[in-house]
Amino acid sequence: LDSFAHALRHQYAAIMAGIGTVLADDPMLNARIEHGNDPIRVICDSNLRISEGSNIVKTAREIPTIIATISEDQEKIAKLEQKGCKILKTSEQDGKVNVKEVLKQLRNMEIDSVLVEGGGAIHGSFLTSDLVQKVYCYIAPKMIGGKDALSPVLGKGIEKMSDAVEITDVTVQNFGGDICVSGHVKQKKEG
C-alpha cells in the first residue's frame, strides 16, 4: 500500500496537507520513488504554526514548498522564505485559509493537479467547498473507534443522507490486507 500511495504522489503536480498533519506526523510528503519526481508541497497553515525545524521546512530548498496562510506575521514569513518556502497569502474563510483561493493561485502558477493528503479538517474543507474530483480511501482491517476518534472527514457534516457526497465509478484494490476504494465524486448540480 505504501508503494501505491507514493506512486500516486508521483502522478500529481502538487501534494497538499493541513498544518494538523504536519504538526502530528512531521512528514516529508515526497514520492520516495527512484528517479521519480517529487510533487510541489503545499501546506495550508492559517496561523503559520509550522516549525522551522520541521522536515517540510528543512527540505524546502530541495523540494518546492508553498505555505498558504492568512497570517500577517512578517517575521515568521521572512524566516520561512529564507529557508526556501514560498508564502501564498489568501483571504480568510471561517478563520482558515480559503481553499478555493489557494487552488486558483496554484492554477495561476500552472500547477494543474493537487493530491490532498491530510487529515479530516482539510478533507472536510475540500468536500464542503465542492472541490474534489476523485477520492482514494484507504481502509486497514483494524477497528480503533472510541467516542473521541477522529473521522477522515471533519467539518460541519451533513443533516440528510441526500446531501452526502456520492462516489461513482468505484474501484476496489487489495494490498496485502489493506484496501483502497477509489472513485470519482459526483458533482452537485448548480441550481
- The DSSP-derived string for 147-174 is TTPPPSS-SS--SSGGGSPPEEEEEEEE
Whether the CB-CB separation of 40 and 66 falls below 8 Å is answered with: yes
Q: What is the pLDDT along the chain (191 residues), one digit of tens a residue?
A: 466 666 777 888 999 999 999 999 999 998 776 666 889 999 999 999 999 999 999 999 999 999 999 999 999 999 999 999 999 999 999 899 999 999 999 999 999 999 998 788 888 888 888 888 998 888 888 888 787 776 677 666 667 777 778 889 999 988 888 888 889 988 775 54
